[in-house]
Copies of this chain bind each other. A is one copy, B any other.
Amino acid sequence: MAMALNDSVSANAMTLDSLRDSLIRQEDTIIFALIERARFPTNSPAYDHSYAKFPGYSGSLVQFVVRETEALLAKAGKFTNPEEHPFSPNDLPPSEAPPYNFTKVLHPAAASININKSIWNMYFDKLLALFTTPGDDGNYASTAASDLVCLQALSRRIHYGKFVAEVKFRESPREYEPAIRSQDRDALMKLLTVESVEELVKKRVAKKAMVFGQEVTLDDNNAKKGKCKVDPSVVSRLYAEWVMPLTKVVQVEYLLRRLD
């Protein structure tokens, strides 16, 4: 229960049920983040490498905002928590905060798994155009900060696959060991896929997008008539095409190294 409230992993309480509670809570976080990004139009100058020149940087405004934000949060200790994964892992400064004793749950090989490059490409090349409206209101810095909130929420959710894989492995090691020993990705992927659960998740996130994206008014007759702030079918597709498949990629990568 503490887990669902605090949205953080405790080794003692870690079961498939408690992980499931956290994954469900993270759906809300992702949908809130998308709704908040959708306040702004596309704002393409934020992604244009030739738009702004920041001293010492050659990329876009959003790359500048992500790298600088991650650098300062790294100093404040963010990435000492194994649940967090940076988008700009190279040249991150060390933490200046006192070390915190995060519970060690994962196999040490987990630290080498970071698929944020795939998440970054998915977000900017595919997802963004599906839930923002074309236009330009000049709020590029706020837009980039909103993008980072979306990216971090998606990254955290997808890399939670490490914890899910660990708990599944602990609960029935014999089921996974043969495929791990033979390094059989396809067999692992098959073991990790439960289509009926994936269908439920797709439906639930669409419903959440409808509930959280509605215009709430005191007059109940007026409620729910307006357009949702983010199209529920886009959120469903985000989970079906990207979040769940990428989570399984993380799980497979983790399990392949689980007996190292």
Contact = CB atoms under 8 A, between A and B. Distances in A.
Contacts of A144: 76
B55 A140 contact: no
Interface string A1-33: 000011110000000000000001100110010
Given A81-B138, A139-B8, A207-B218, A55 B98 contact: no
A135 B6 contact: yes
A201 B191 CA distance: 51
Contact of A72 (B72, B137, B203, B215): B72
Nearest to A214: B211
Interface string A141-159: 1101100010000000000
Interface string A183-207: 0000000000000000010011001
Contacts of A245: none
Contacts of A52: 76-77, 96-98
Contacts of A65: 72-73, 76
A223 to B, nearest CB: 9
Given A32-B32, A81-B139, A5 B97 contact: no
A142 B79 CA distance: 10
Contacts of A51: 97-98
A102 interface: yes
Nearest to A101: B138
Contacts of A203: 218
B217 A141 contact: no
Interface string A59-99: 00100110011001101111001001000000000001110
Interface stretch (A34-42, A108-116, A168-176): A34-42
A47 interface: no
B139 A39 contact: no
A196 to B, nearest CB: 12
Nearest to A39: B7
7 contacts: A52-B96, A52-B97, A69-B69, A73-B145, A81-B138, A84-B142, A204-B218
Given A29-B36, A61-B97, A204-B217, 8 more contacts: A6-B39, A6-B40, A25-B39, A64-B76, A69-B72, A77-B140, A78-B139, A207-B218
